[in-house]
Structure 1
Amino acid sequence: MSRRFGVLLALSLTAAGLAVPAVPAAASTCGAVTTNWTARTTPHAAPENLLNAYSNTGKGWTGADSTYSVALPGGRTAWVFSDTFLGPVNPDGSRPTTAPFINNSFVIQHGTDLKTVTGGTATNPTALVPPPSDGWYWFGAAQTSHAGQDLDVVALRFQKTGTGQWDWRWASNYLARFDSKTFKLKSLTPIPSAANVQWSGWLLRDRGYTYIYGVEDLGASKYQHVARVRGDDLTAKPWEYWTGTGWSADEAASTRVLEGVANEHSVTRWGDGYLLVTHNTKELFSKSILGYFSCSPTGPWVKPVELYQTPETGGNIITYNSHEHPDLRQGTSLLVSYNVNSLVSDELYGDVSIYRPRFLSVTLAATK
């Protein structure tokens, strides 16, 4: 069973309703917020079928979660994954119990060609970031830096605390830097970790800054936090933290911006404002994907609109960590992905199609 279930199982058993926050006066100064939006969503958007077909060959990646994407030089896209199954795949669509399972990987797309990138060797694949003796790394948000020469991925270090299945905890944040051509790991650098915030939810490059969106994960409640750094290198300049009224160099001054975000979500430009896409974590094992709007990259996030309800959710099947892929927008149509998993690990071996990302085409239109 994927250890990522522990994050999900820690959610409160009490489902909270979706509250529509009032729009503060200061937030009503851009069209993104003053407009009333509706969503028209079409499932199974590209590249879902391409990834599914590749998975079915059993020649590399056969399923994973996280599903971040980064545009690379040369028209390539890096798909960035956390817990990953590798092939083979049996003729009946199951996977052998001996199939390799690693904690992070890439799939590199160039047109319709896909290639799996792991550490180790072809006969003994390992995670791209080697696991420490007492834990492992999960991948979060990613971007290029240094004019596209480097692929930077936030890596969350998790630590074992005992011998039991759920005896582990988040320990600290790192930046894993890869060569964007060879995908060799160049460095693994600690980044701020002192405020109980996993700074891995999303990276937004905007007006000379990279905004880093983190999640304070309390199990029953999850809160978004915002930091920023000048330029595109998260390790080169001091970080600043949003306090609710301004920026501070003190990580402890970081304030809660929005409750109910998923550990992985997105913040992107939308017209003259910003759009946040997230699974609704105010509900246990929710099927609801929401969009929020703001005039600022720091919120407040207001006027939530339901973008989709995931049909897979129910029984043992869960969906989580939805977010947008802004580099792959088609005009004003968003490309949104979400992850699918099972609470019963045997099901992931019995049906390879469960543990693969789903993709949505979402068109937001102003209500007439």
Structure 2
Amino acid sequence: MFRRLGVALALSLTVGGLAVPGVSAAVSADCSAVRTNWTATTVPHAAPEGLLNAYSNTGKGWTGADSTYSVQLSGGRTVWIFSDTFLGPVNPDGSRPTTAPFINNSFVVQQGSRLTTVTGGTASHPTALIPPPSNGWYWVGAAQTSNAGKNLDVVALRFEKTGPGQWDWRWVANYLARFDSKTLKLQSLKPIPSAANVQWSGWLLRDRGYTYIYGVEDLGASKYQHVARVRGDDLTGKPWEYWTGSGWSQDESASVRVLEGVANEHSVTAFEDGYLLVTHDTKELFSSRVVAYFGCSPTGPWVKPVDLYQTPETGGNIITYNSHEHPDLRRGDELLVSYNVNSLVSDDLYGDVSIYRPRFLAVTLAATR
């Protein structure tokens, strides 16, 4: 949470979707998703925002977190996957005690209107689902099922402390945390490629026999999207291939920058006859812009940016970040997009439990006439 604010402190310097030095600019294929000019109509506070807020207010489990990925599981379950997480209790005035448990990753399982918090440890001593390494922790990223739905696979980023200060930490490596999709018990934690300074955790897209892995080269002042893929649905089962700007290579160092200005967490999903990228804009510091790009390929190029929303919470101590879509929860043409809210002052999060919760948007894209 507080450490994670450093991930949001990003300022990129170019206009997304245009050819810039160091960014792949392959010629776009022709598709109507790119030919069309789109406008967005967005309604805030979409479900399940109210359900999660009410659950948080009870103080009986999860009371706020960030990341906010989702995966559909058997039995009509949706698992909401969170990084830094506060647990209850919640005071009657909507504040949280300073003794409230805080862990680096958790699940909330939704089945209809029923929500259940899943952590490691015990009810009296909850811990992160992925046990932290010495001098560090794991933040979770994109997730999917594998092995005919038997596994829940979650990309996990390992971070470590480098000193005593609040900002003395760094990303170390990427891992795949595999959970049993029925019991949600951790089965294994395996390293995945980490040699190119890319955090391969932004998004996972299953498309035409491959899983595409979207990573972010996070340089602090600039963030660049990279794209890899693996045949099938097991990120640890076969060699990865990396997009070079004109083809695929098994050399991770050949991975090229595809788009500047993405957030560490964003989404790439099928849309019309092409693909839709949803991200928080990181071309400006503490941006309030949720933006979409369009492409004809899972590797872009990403063009025609359209503003989806301006987050009203942004300002003062409050920041918003890491917006992305939940494609399994689309309702016809209506997209479900989430974003995270946080404060640069930790006391705010204890004084008002409602700040550190995900927000949800119902977004409809329409062709302009």
TM-score tier after normalising by the smaller chain length? over 0.9
Amino acid at match of 1:7: V
* Structure 1 residues 187-206: aligned runs within 5 Å: 187-206=188-207
Q: State the partner residue of 2:56.
A: 55
Residues 122 and 339 of structure 1: CA distance in aligned 2, closer, same or farther (over 3 Å): same
Q: State the partner residue of 2:22.
A: none
Q: State the partner residue of 2:18.
A: 21
Q: State the partner residue of 1:210.
A: 211
Amino acid at match of 2:2: S
**Aligned with 1:27: secondary structure?**
coil
**Aligned with 1:356: secondary structure?**
coil
Separation in 1, partners of 2:87, 2:126: 9
Deviation at 1:21, TM superposition (A): 2.6
Q: State the partner residue of 1:174.
A: 175
The count of residues paired between Structure 1 and Structure 2 equals 364
Q: State the partner residue of 2:336.
A: 335
CA RMSD of aligned residues (A): 1.3
Residues 25 and 153 of structure 1: CA distance in aligned 2, closer, same or farther (over 3 Å): closer
What percent of counterpart residues are identical? Answer: 81
4+ residue segments displaced more than 2 Å:
15-22
Partners of 1:21 and 1:303 within 8 A in 2: no
Separation in 1, partners of 2:305, 2:165: 39
Separation in 1, partners of 2:87, 2:15: 38
**Aligned with 2:34: secondary structure?**
helix
1:131-156 CA-partner distances (Å, limit 9, x unpaired): 01110000000000011111000000
TM-score by length of 2: 0.97
TM-score by length of 1: 0.97
Separation in 1, partners of 2:341, 2:136: 24
Q: State the partner residue of 1:153.
A: 154
Separation in 2, partners of 1:20, 1:238: 29
Q: State the partner residue of 1:35.
A: 36
Residues 241 and 16 of structure 1: CA distance in aligned 2, closer, same or farther (over 3 Å): closer
1:213-256 CA-partner distances (Å, limit 9, x unpaired): 00000000000000000000000010000000000000000000
**Aligned with 2:97: secondary structure?**
coil
Within the alignment, does 1:351 sit opposite 2:348 as a pair?
no
Deviation at 1:25, TM superposition (A): 9.2
Residues 20 and 188 of structure 1: CA distance in aligned 2, closer, same or farther (over 3 Å): closer
Amino acid at match of 1:85: F
Separation in 1, partners of 2:256, 2:86: 37
Partners of 2:279 and 2:292 within 8 A in 1: yes
Deviation at 1:8, TM superposition (A): 2.4
Q: State the partner residue of 2:3.
A: 3
Amino acid at match of 2:4: R
1:240-281 CA-partner distances (Å, limit 9, x unpaired): 000000000000000000000000000000010000000000
Deviation at 1:173, TM superposition (A): 0.1
Q: State the partner residue of 1:266.
A: 267
Q: State the partner residue of 1:64.
A: 65
Within the alignment, does 1:363 sit opposite 2:364 as a pair?
yes
Separation in 1, partners of 2:15, 2:55: 38
* Structure 1 residues 192-341: aligned runs within 5 Å: 192-341=193-342
**Structure having greater relative contact order (Cα 8 Å, sep ≥ 6):** 2
1:56-87 CA-partner distances (Å, limit 9, x unpaired): 00000000000000000111000000000000
Separation in 2, partners of 1:317, 1:144: 34
Partners of 2:42 and 2:308 within 8 A in 1: yes
